[in-house]
C-alpha cells in the first residue's frame, strides 16, 4: 500500500527560516523544513521552498474562477486582493498573511471540510503556482471534495515539476481515456511502468485503451504470463469483463467462472453483477441468473431484477466503465481499514470520475467520506445511487452507518424505520431497524423488529439462518427476558452448531443465570476450539472454570484474555475475582483498578466496592 506521510517538521511551507511568522505560529525558531515523501521513500524528493519575495507569477484564470465557484468559506478580502492584483505591493505581502491563509486551509482540512480546504489551498496556489506543497494539498483536497477539474489542474502542475504522486498518474490516465486521447493515455501507462508503484495495472489499462481505440492487442495482453501477484489478483476479472465488452458472451462467462476465488467485498459483488448484466444484455439470461446465487443481499436483489425480466444495470460495455471497476476494486483493497487512507479515497474518486453512474463507486466514496466524519458530503452521493438497481439496500445500510458514525443515532433510526414502511421492505430492512433499536438500548423494540425479519425469512426458500436467531436472542437477553432469550439462542445454536459466536453467547448467558453450568462449560469449550485466539471466548472459558471451582484453569484462561485485551473491564474484573479467590490479593486489586478505568454505571460501583472491602458474594461479578 502506498500512502503519503508527513514527516515530523518544525517549519511550515512558505515561511522563511526563523521568520516572525514562524515564531508566532510555533513559538520557537524554525530550523527545519516540511517534507512530504512517499511512505516507501521511493522518490526522496524534498518538496519545500523558501518564501520567494519580489516575484509574481501570472494568475491562472481557471483557478481564480474555480476558487469562487467551489468555496464554502468566506475568502478573506486581503486574499481576494492578493489574487486579483499583480502589483509589486501585492507580491510583497508579509509571510504572516500567507501563513494565516495556510492555517485556515489546514484547519478546514483537519475539521473534515474538504471543499473549504481545497479552496483554501487553491487560493495559495494561485498566489504561487510553483508551490508544490500547495499543489499537492490542492490535488488531494480537490479529489476528496469531488472537484476533478481542479484536481487535474493541480496534478498537471505537479507532473510538470516531477512531483506527481503515484495515484495522480491514474487521474491523468482516466482523463485521457475519457477524452479519447489515446496518445496521452498510452503516455500515462508508460509513465506508470517507469514509476513502478502502479505498474501492475498497466497490462489491463493497455488492453482497455486498445479496445477503446480499436487499435492493438487486448485479451492477449491479459493472457500473457506474469510474475506479478498483484496483476494476477485483478486480471482474471478484467479479462472476463473485456471479453464481454467485446460481445464474446460464452468466453466471458467461462473466463469468470474459472476464477479460483471470488470475494464478497462490495466491488467484487459489483464485478459479478457487471458480468451478469452483460450476459443478460447479450441474450444469455439463464447464464446470468446462474451467476447470481448466494445470500448476499445485493446479489439477491440483482437476481430478483433479472428473474422479473427487468434490466440489470452495472454492466461494463465501455473502457471507461471497465477501468472504473478496476480502480474501485483497487480503492476498496487499499482502504480496507477503519479510517480509509487519502490515496484510497483519491482512487475511488477517480473511479467515479470514469463512470459517474457507477453505484458501487458512489457507495465506496460515500462510505470513505462518511468514515472521515463528513456526512454532509457523503449522504448526497448515496442519493445518486440508482433507486431501481440492486444497490438500494446497500445504500440504506451505508446511510444508517454514516449517520451513526456522525453521532446522529435518532436520524439513523428514522432512516431505518422509513425503509421498513416502504413498499417492498426486505428482511435486511427489518434487521437494520432492529440493530438501530439495539444501539439505542431499546431492546424490546429491537426484538420485535427481528421477529418481523424472522417471519419474512421463514417464508423464503432458505429459511431463517442462525444469525437472525442470535440477534433476536441477544435483544431478549439485553431486555432481561431470559426465557425468550434462551429459546432464541438455543435455536441459533441448532442452526449454527459450528458458530463460535453463538455457542459462546449461549454458554455465557447460562453462566450469568447460573443455569445448566455443565452444559454452559461444554458450549464454551467447543467455541474455544473453533476460535482459540478469541479473547472474549477465552474470558468466557475462564469464567466458566471459575464458577465451577477450577481456579487454576480459570486463571490460565483469564490471564490469556487479559493479555490480549488489557483495557476490557469485564475481563479485568473476572481476573481480579479469580486472583482474590486464589489468595493473590495485590494482583486482584491491580486487575480491579484496571477494570475501573473503562467501567461505568453499576459495574463501576461494584468494582469500587471490591477495592474498598474485597470480594464478597454481594459484589461478585455475575
Q: Assign 3-class secondary structure to 82-119.
A: HHHCCCHHHHCCCHHHHHHHHHHHHHHHHCCCHHHHHH
Q: Among residues 244, 234, 239, 230, which one has the least CA distance to residue 277? A: 244
Q: How far apart are CA 357 and CA 353, in angstroms?
A: 9
pLDDT score recorded for residue 336: 76
Q: Are 353 and 174 in contact (CB under 8 A)?
A: yes
Q: Where is the domain boundary, 138, 163, 188?
A: 163
Number of alpha helices (DSSP H) and beta strands (DSSP E) in the chain: 34, 2
Q: How far apart are CA 363 and CA 324, in angstroms?
A: 13
Computed over every residue of the chain, the mean pLDDT equals: 82
pLDDT band at 31 (very low <50, low <70, confident <90, very high): very low
- pLDDT confidence of residue 95: 54
Q: What is the pLDDT averaged over residues 87-111?
A: 52
**One domain for residues 174 and 312:** yes
Please identify, among 131, 163, 195, the residue that sits at the C-terminal boundary of a domain: 163
Task: Average the pLDDT over 304-309 and give the result.
Answer: 93
Structural domain includes residue 411: no
pLDDT for residue 119:
65
Own/partner contacts of 47-51, CB < 8 Å, gap of 24 or more, are 47/132, 47/133, 47/136, 47/163, 48/11, 48/13, 48/133, 49/13, 49/130, 49/131, 49/132, 50/16, 50/17, 51/14, 51/15, 51/16, 51/19, 51/95, 51/98
User: For position 114, what pLDDT does the model report?
Assistant: 66
pLDDT of residue 437: 95
Residue 14 confidence (pLDDT) above 70: no
pLDDT of residue 193: 94
* Whether the predicted pLDDT of 462 surpasses 80: no
Residue 288, SS3 per DSSP:
helix
pLDDT of residue 228: 86
Chain centroid to CA 412: 19
Tell me what pLDDT residue 48 has.
Answer: 26
- Whether 235 and 341 map to the same domain: the answer is yes
157 in the same domain as 179: no
- Is residue 135 located within the same domain as residue 261? no
Report the range out of 43-57, 217-231, 246-260, 501-515 with the highest average pLDDT: 501-515
Domains of the chain: total = 3
- Shared domain check, 381 and 346: yes
Nearest-angstrom CA–CA distance, 544 and 5: 47
Does one domain contain both 121 and 189?
no
Examine residue 588 and state whether it is found in any structural domain, yes or no: yes
- On the question of pLDDT at 561 being above 80, the answer is yes
pLDDT of 84 strictly over 90? no
Q: Taking the CB of residue 556, how many other CB atoms lie within 10 A of it?
A: 16
> What would the grid cell of residue 10 be?
518544525
Q: Please state, in angstroms and rounded to a whole number, the distance separating the CA atoms of residues 560 and 550.
A: 16
| Range name among 325-334, 384-393, 418-427 with the lowest pLDDT average | 418-427
DSSP single-letter state for residue 59: P
Residue 514 falls inside a structural domain: no
Per-position DSSP letters for 117-173, written without gaps between them: HHHHHHHHHHH-TT-HHHHHHHHHHHHHHT-HHHHHHHHHHHHHTT---HHHHHHHH
pLDDT band at 288 (very low <50, low <70, confident <90, very high): very high
Q: Higher-confidence residue: 335 or 267? A: 267
The pLDDT confidence band at residue 237, using thresholds 50, 70 and 90, is very high
Q: Which residue has the higher pLDDT, 91 or 484?
A: 484
> Are residues 130 and 169 located together in one domain of the fold?
no
- Tell me if 102 is assigned to some domain: yes
Query: pLDDT tier at 63 (50, 70, 90 boundaries)?
Result: very low
- Do 134 and 228 share a domain, yes or no? no
Whether 364 shows a pLDDT value over 50: the answer reads yes
User: How confident is the model over 125-137, as pLDDT tens digits?
Assistant: 655 677 788 788 8
Which DSSP symbol is given to 246? T
Residue 85 binned pLDDT confidence (cut-offs 50, 70, 90): very low
pLDDT of residue 374: 86
Mean pLDDT, residues 1-13 taken together: 33
**What is the tens place of the pLDDT at every residue in 569-601?**
999 999 999 999 999 999 999 999 999 999 999
| 92 and 221 housed in the same domain | no
Mean pLDDT of 245-249: 95
Distances from the Cα of 65 to the Cαs of 70, 143, 152, 481, in angstroms?
9, 18, 15, 64
* 518 φ, ψ (degrees, to nearest 5): -65, -45
Containing domain of residue 113, as a range?
Answer: 48-163
pLDDT value of position 118? 63
* One domain for residues 173 and 286: yes
Residue 612 lies in a domain: yes
Choose from 81-85, 119-123, 245-249, 457-461 the range with maximum mean pLDDT.
245-249
Q: What's the average model confidence in pLDDT over 414-429?
A: 89
Q: Does residue 309 form part of some domain? A: yes
Specify the CATH number for the domain of residue 542. Answer: 1.25.40.10
- pLDDT band per the 50, 70, 90 thresholds, residue 90: very low
Specify if 518 maps to a domain. no
**pLDDT score, position 226:** 81
Same domain, 56 and 82: yes
pLDDT above 80 (res 104):
no
Give me the pLDDT at residue 543, please. Answer: 97
Q: How far apart are CA 346 and CA 351, in angstroms?
A: 9
580 versus 58: the higher-pLDDT residue is: 580
Q: To the nearest whole percent, how much of the chain has pLDDT over 70?
A: 79
User: 148 and 277, same structural domain?
Assistant: no
Q: How far apart are CA 186 and CA 480, in angstroms?
A: 65
Quick check: is 488 in a domain? Answer: no
Three-state SS for 60?
Answer: coil
CA distances 140 to 4, 145, 212, 452, Å, are 11, 9, 29, 45
Residue 22, pLDDT > 80, answer no
Domain boundary among 398, 424, 459: 398
Amino acid at each position: 500500500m502506498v500512502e503519503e506521510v508527513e514527516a515530523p517538521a518544525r517549519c511550515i511551507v512558505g515561511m522563511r527560516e526563523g521568520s516572525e511568522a514562524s515564531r508566532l505560529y510555533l513559538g520557537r525558531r524554525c530550523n527545519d523544513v516540511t517534507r512530504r515523501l512517499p511512505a516507501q521513500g521511493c522518490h526522496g524528493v524534498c518538496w519545500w521552498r523558501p518564501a520567494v519575495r519580489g516575484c509574481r507569477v501570472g494568475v491562472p484564470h481557471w483557478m481564480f474562477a474555480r476558487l469562487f465557484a467551489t468555496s464554502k468559506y468566506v475568502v478573506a478580502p486581503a486574499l481576494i486582493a492578493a489574487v486579483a492584483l499583480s502589483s509589486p505591493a501585492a507580491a510583497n505581502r508579509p509571510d504572516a498573511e500567507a501563513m494565516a491563509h495556510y492555517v485556515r486551509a489546514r484547519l478546514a482540512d483537519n475539521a473534515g471540510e474538504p471543499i473549504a480546504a481545497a479552496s483554501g489551498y487553491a487560493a495559495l496556489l494561485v498566489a504561487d503556482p510553483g508551490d508544490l506543497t500547495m499543489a499537492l494539498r490542492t490535488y488531494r483536497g480537490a479529489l476528496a471534495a469531488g472537484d476533478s477539474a481542479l484536481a487535474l489542474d493541480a496534478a498537471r502542475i505537479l507532473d510538470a515539476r516531477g512531483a506527481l504522486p503515484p495515484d495522480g498518474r491514474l487521474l491523468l490516465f482516466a482523463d485521457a481515456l475519457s477524452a479519447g486521447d489515446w496518445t496521452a493515455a498510452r503516455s500515462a501507462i508508460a509513465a506508470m511502468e517507469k514509476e513502478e508503484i502502479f505498474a501492475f495495472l498497466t497490462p489491463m489499462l493497455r488492453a482497455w485503451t486498445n479496445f477503446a481505440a480499436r487499435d492493438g492487442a487486448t485479451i492477449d495482453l491479459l493472457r500473457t504470463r506474469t510474475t506479478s501477484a498483484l496483476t494476477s489478483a485483478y486480471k482474471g476479472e478484467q479479462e472476463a469483463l473485456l471479453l464481454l465488452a467485446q460481445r464474446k458472451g460464452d468466453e466471458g462467462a467461462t473466463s469468470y467462472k474459472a476464477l479460483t476465488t471470488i470475494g464478497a467485498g462490495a466491488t467484487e459483488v459489483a464485478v459479478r453483477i457487471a458480468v451478469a448484466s452483460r450476459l443478460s444484455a447479450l441474450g444469455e439470461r439463464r447464464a446470468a441468473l446462474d451467476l447470481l446465487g448466494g445470500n448476499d443481499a445485493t446479489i439477491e436483489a440483482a437476481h430478483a431484477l433479472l428473474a422479473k425480466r427487468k434490466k440489470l444495470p452495472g454492466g461494463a460495455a465501455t473502457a471507461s466503465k471497465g477501468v472504473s471497476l478496476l480502480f474501485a476494486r483497487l480503492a476498496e483493497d487499499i482502504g480496507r481499514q477503519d479510517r480509509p487512507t487519502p490515496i484510497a479515497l483519491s482512487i475511488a474518486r477517480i473511479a467515479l470520475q470514469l463512470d459517474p453512474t457507477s453505484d458501487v463507486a458512489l457507495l465506496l466514496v460515500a462510505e470513505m467520506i462518511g468514515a472521515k466524519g463528513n456526512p454532509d458530503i457523503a449522504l448526497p452521493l448515496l442519493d445518486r445511487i440508482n433507486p431501481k438497481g440492486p444497490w438500494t439496500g446497500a445504500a440504506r445500510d451505508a446511510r444508517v452507518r454514516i449517520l451513526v458514525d456522525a453521532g446522529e443515532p435518532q436520524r439513523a433510526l428514522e432512516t431505518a424505520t422509513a425503509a421498513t414502511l416502504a413498499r417492498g421492505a426486505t428482511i435486511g430492512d427489518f434487521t437494520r431497524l432492529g440493530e438501530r433499536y439495539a444501539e439505542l438500548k431499546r431492546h424490546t423494540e429491537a426484538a420485535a423488529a427481528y421477529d418481523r425479519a424472522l417471519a419474512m425469512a421463514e417464508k423464503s426458500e432458505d429459511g431463517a439462518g442462525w444469525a437472525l436467531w442470535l440477534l433476536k436472542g441477544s435483544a431478549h437477553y439485553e431486555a432481561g427476558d431470559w426465557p425468550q432469550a434462551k429459546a432464541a439462542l438455543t435455536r441459533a445454536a441448532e442452526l449454527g452448531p459450528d458458530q463460535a459466536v453463538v455457542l459462546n453467547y449461549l454458554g455465557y448467558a447460562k453462566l450469568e443465570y447460573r443455569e445448566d453450568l455443565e452444559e454452559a462449560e461444554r458450549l464454551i469449550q467447543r467455541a474455544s476450539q473453533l476460535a482459540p485466539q478469541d479473547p472474549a471466548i477465552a474470558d468466557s472459558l475462564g469464567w466458566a472454570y471459575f464458577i465451577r471451582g477450577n481456579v487454576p484453569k480459570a486463571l490460565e484462561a483469564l490471564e490469556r484474555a487479559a493479555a490480549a485485551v488489557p483495557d476490557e473491564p469485564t475481563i479485568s474484573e473476572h481476573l481480579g475475582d479469580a486472583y482474590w479467590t486464589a489468595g493473590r490479593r495485590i494482583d486482584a486489586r491491580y486487575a480491579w483498578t484496571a477494570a475501573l478505568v473503562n467501567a461505568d454505571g453499576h459495574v463501576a460501583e461494584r468494582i469500587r466496592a471490591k477495592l474498598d472491602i474485597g470480594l464478597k458474594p454481594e459484589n461478585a461479578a455475575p
